[in-house]
Amino acid sequence: MSNDHLPIVLVDDEENILKASKLILLGNGYGNVVTLSDSRALLPFLAEHGAAAIVLDLFMPHQSGLDLLPLIAERHPDLPVIVMTAVDETETAVNCMKAGAFDYLVKPVESGRLLSSVAKAREIGSLSQELSSLKECLLEDRLDHPEAFSAIVTDSKKMRAVFQYLEITARSRQPILITGETGVGKELFSRAVHQLSGLKGNYVAVNVAELDDNMFSDTLFGHRKGAFTGADQPREGLIAKAAGGTLLLDEIGDLNGASQIKLLRLLQEREYYPVGSDVARKSEARIVCATNRDLRKRMEEGKFRNDLFYRLCTHQVRIPPLRERMEDIPLLLDHFLALAAQELERKKPTPPAELVTLLAVHTFPGNVREFQAMVFDAVARHTGGVLSMENFRRVIVESGASLPPSHPRESLSDDPLVSLFGRFPTVRDVEEYLFDEAMKRAGGNQGIAATMLGITRQTLNKRLQLRNDNEVPS
Ligand X SMILES: Nc1ncnc2c1ncn2[C@@H]1O[C@H](COP(=O)(O)OP(=O)(O)OP(=O)(O)O)[C@@H](O)[C@H]1O
| Binding positions for ligand X, rule: CB under 6 A | 152-154, 180, 182-188, 292, 368-369, 372
Q: How far is the CB of 289 from ligand X (least distance, A)?
A: 12
Select 76 or 191, whichever has its Cβ closest to ligand X. 191
Q: Which residue is nearest to ligand X (CB)?
A: 185
Q: How far is the CB of 150 from ligand X (least distance, A)?
A: 10
Select 39 or 292, whichever has its Cβ closest to ligand X. 292
Q: Do residues 301 and 250 touch, judged by C-beta distance below 8 A?
A: no
Select 106 or 188, whichever has its Cβ closest to ligand X. 188
- Residue 317's DSSP bridge partners are 178
Select 185 or 222, whichever has its Cβ closest to ligand X. 185
Select 6 or 248, whichever has its Cβ closest to ligand X. 248
Q: How far is the CB of 446 from ligand X (least distance, A)?
A: 50
Q: How far is the CB of 403 from ligand X (least distance, A)?
A: 17
Q: Phi first, then psi: what are they for 218, rounded to 5°?
A: -65, -45
State the Cα–Cα distance between residues 383 and 360, nearest whole angstrom.
Answer: 25
Select 37 or 372, whichever has its Cβ closest to ligand X. 372
Q: 352 in the Ramachandran plot: left (φ > 0), alpha (ψ -120 to 50) or beta?
A: beta
Select 152 or 161, whichever has its Cβ closest to ligand X. 152
Q: How far is the CB of 169 from ligand X (least distance, A)?
A: 18
What is the sign of the dihedral through the CA atoms of 131, 324, 392 and 182? positive
Q: How far is the CB of 297 from ligand X (least distance, A)?
A: 16
Select 83 or 288, whichever has its Cβ closest to ligand X. 288
Select 339 or 464, whichever has its Cβ closest to ligand X. 339
Q: How far is the CB of 353 from ligand X (least distance, A)?
A: 23
State the Cα–Cα distance between residues 268 and 213, nearest whole angstrom.
Answer: 19
Q: How far is the CB of 178 from ligand X (least distance, A)?
A: 8
Select 339 or 420, whichever has its Cβ closest to ligand X. 339
Q: How far is the CB of 418 from ligand X (least distance, A)?
A: 22
- Residue 36's DSSP bridge partners are 11
Q: How far is the CB of 152 from ligand X (least distance, A)?
A: 4
